[in-house]
Amino acid sequence: MSSMLDRIRASIPALPPAEQRVAKLVLLDPRSFTSLPVSELSERAHVSKPTVVRFCRSVGYDGLADFKRKLAGSVNEGVPFVHRAVDEDDKSADIIVKVVDNAVSALLKYRNDAAGHAFERAITALAAAGLEGRKIEFYGVGNSGIVAQDAEHKFFRLGVHTAAVSDGHVQVMSATMLKPGDCAVIFSNSGQSRDLIDVADIARKKGATTIVVTASGSPLAQLAQGSNAVLLAVDHPEDHDRYSPMVSRLLHLMVVDILTTAVALRLPGELRSTLQEIKKNLRARRYTRSAE
């Protein structure tokens, strides 16, 4: 669902009853709304013609023509290979609103859809690996490799044995050396990367807890089965064949933050004094002292 339709849906409770009927008409068939004349729109919504125009202005557009043009671009999935929520002729202010709204909508949807029991299993396995001095390896390629690096950066501060691996050959070697009690965390937007599917299969067969962060129903997600595998499904509206992974990357980074925060709370209390000392030492390098 496009971010524009998400905004319209979210605005319904604040609209007058007549404008709510127009909003529901849009949501019922957005493609038809873009092509019908105002007379037919008002008739279908059982409102006056000026009410249709007022609705368009209430949800942030200049009028009916502007609303139809933006709606047509929205239901047509934006600009291919650029961003799904923007139109070719958007002004800078429009782009800001659309890109931010698209991200916020995806984050809120994930908050409501995330499987708490799956996170609990992943957090328990990662905390156990940290307490027992086992390895926690993060795998990803391309943009997902960047997420894996972010995960390593956050987890190594917890004092655990961690590494991020993005080279396919090194991933195979790394996964082959995993043992029961270790954790392999695999990030993939599409869940179709041959390299990552192979790595997940190797890690699982070696007895390591395999935590997969990817789209549900993907080939990679299907490997996250059994007592030593966990699927943290991250579903989003981006077509990975047509757009750069923007929302998916934000969602994966958020998953990393959730895991890091939860694991930190389960590790020994002295960890916090270490984190405090790290911040203190970094502060000394971050700011210059005034000249004496």
Query: What is residue 237's predicted lDDT score, i.e. its pLDDT?
Result: 65
Band (pLDDT 50/70/90 cuts) for residue 108 is confident
Four-way CATH pick for 115-269: 3.40.50.10490, 3.30.365.10, 3.30.70.1150, 3.10.20.30:
3.40.50.10490
CA 226 to CA 204: how far, in whole Å? 9
Task: Check whether 254 has a pLDDT greater than 50.
Answer: yes
Give CATH 3.40.50.10490 domain extents, the chain: 115-269
Give the pLDDT mean for 251-277: 85
Task: Check whether 156 has a pLDDT greater than 60.
Answer: yes
Band (pLDDT 50/70/90 cuts) for residue 1 is very low
Q: Which fold has domain 3-111?
A: Arc Repressor Mutant, subunit A (1.10.10)
* Least confident segment among 16-25, 166-175, 235-244: 235-244
Task: Check whether 22 has a pLDDT greater than 70.
Answer: yes
- Phi-psi label, residue 191: left if phi above 0, alpha if psi -120 to 50, beta otherwise: left
Task: Check whether 275 has a pLDDT greater than 80.
Answer: no
Query: What is residue 220's predicted lDDT score, i.e. its pLDDT?
Result: 92
Give CATH 1.10.10.10 domain extents, the chain: 3-111
201-222 pLDDT tens trace: 999 999 999 999 998 888 999 8
Average pLDDT, the chain: 86
Query: What is residue 101's predicted lDDT score, i.e. its pLDDT?
Result: 79
Task: Check whether 115 has a pLDDT greater than 80.
Answer: yes
Task: State what percent of residues in the chain have pLDDT above 70.
Answer: 87
Query: What is residue 174's predicted lDDT score, i.e. its pLDDT?
Result: 96
Query: What is residue 151's predicted lDDT score, i.e. its pLDDT?
Result: 96
Give the pLDDT mean for 66-95: 71
Give the pLDDT mean for 65-89: 69
